Amino acid sequence: MIDHADVQTAAARVAGHVRRTPVLEVDPAPLAPAARMWLKLELTQHTGSFKPRGAFNHILAARDEGRLPEAGIVAPSGGNAGLAFAYAAAQVGAHAEVYVPETAPAMKVARLRALGAAVVQVGTRYAEAQDAATKRAADTGALFCHAYDLPEVCAGQGTLGLEIAEQTAGEVDTVLLAVGGGGLMAGVATALEGQAQVIGVEPEGIPTLERALHAGRPVDVDVSSIAADSLGATRLGEIAFSVATRTGVRPVLVSEEAIIEARQFIWDEYRLAIEHGTATAVAALRTNAYTPSPTERVMVVLCGANTPPTTLAT
């Protein structure tokens, strides 16, 4: 479990290491009948996603507390978390070893290597890479860096929520964001607890949050989606489940077709190239899977941009 104080501590720790990403106010009409609408441009964060917030918080805490071993760090990843941990490790002079599925996009694997990380490709799903990384960390004594289910990682992601509150002068009512393992959702919902509701949007083919809330606990789900490279966790994290139930996070599911359309819409309308995972949050509005009230003030988190622009129609 994490609380607001943990997020505040994370904000102080990562200051100067992560970017304060901009907010763009947009006309709500093409998206939904809301009173106001903003896009949080977290795709401009270091390494192209929100993940460095949690990565820096976890690694810096270990360094400051004398827990960062000579063996460095080991991280499992579908791609974005690995980039973040590799970047953060490089900034503090630590060795990084990243385990990714064999299905990880070649662009992300190349970027991991460019950041100096040793890359190991294992299996076809994130869960297989995670199992291999867990064993490697135990064998070497390296700091294990879970992509989404560590308190310091979740609290670090929550610094994005603090920025949202500051950048909208506390006027935001609802935040829509994509959910995979739930680290971003857990952090933002904690940061904005009592201030704004969080809508967790998932592909129909990876309903980790929806299934967990229905079952009363995190459960394994099949992973089948175009967004699996960034939202491909097989189950929601324990921390994310605790936060979601405590704060009343609402799950919303969207189709593959809606994700593809939303990604193209963001490119056509704003000339922003976003990942399919990121586009799930936009798809919820474009399809009315989530319909805000006419008086609602809505923030949509554009959380990642590690995608081949060539797959977008010009």
Q: What is the pLDDT of residue 314?
A: 85
Mean pLDDT, rounded, of the chain: 96
pTM, full prediction: 0.96
- Report whether 185 contacts 179 (CB < 8 A): yes
| Phi, psi of 187, deg, nearest 5 | -70, -45
**Confidence label for 291 from pLDDT (cuts 50, 70 and 90):** very high
Name the pairing type of β-strands 23-26 and 250-254: unpaired
Distance CA 169, CA 2 (A): 24
What are the angstrom distances between the C-alpha of 199 and each of 154, 173, 203?
17, 11, 13
User: Mapped to the 3 state alphabet, what secondary structure does the chain carry?
Assistant: CCCHHHHHHHHHHHECCECCCCEEEECCCCCCCCCEEEEECHHHCHHHECCHHHHHHHHHHHHHCCCCCCCCEEEECCCHHHHHHHHHHHHHCCCEEEEECCCCCHHHHHHHHHCCCEEEECCCCHHHHHHHHHHHHHHHCCEECCCCCCHHHHHHHCHHHHHHHHHCCCCCCEEEEECCCCHHHHHHHHHCCCCCEEEEEEECCCCHHHHHHHHCCCCCCCCCCCCHHHHCCCCCCHHHHHHHHHHCCEEEEECHHHHHHHHHHHHHHHCCCCCHHHHHHHHHHHCCCCCCCCCCEEEEECCECCCCHHHCCC
Mind listing the pLDDT tens digit for each residue in 213-245? 999 999 999 999 999 988 989 999 999 999 999
2 Cβ contact list (under 8 Å, min separation 6): 151, 154, 155, 158, 186, 187, 190, 239, 243
- Report whether 226 contacts 277 (CB < 8 A): no
Hey, what domains does the chain have and what are their CATH numbers? 4-50+156-311 (3.40.50.1100), 52-151 (3.40.50.1100)
Mind listing the pLDDT tens digit for each residue in 33-62? 999 999 999 999 999 999 999 999 999 999
The yes-or-no verdict on residue 105 having pLDDT over 80 is: no
- Report whether 186 contacts 199 (CB < 8 A): no
Mind listing the pLDDT tens digit for each residue in 177-204? 999 999 999 999 999 999 999 999 999 9
Mean pLDDT computed over 264-283? 98
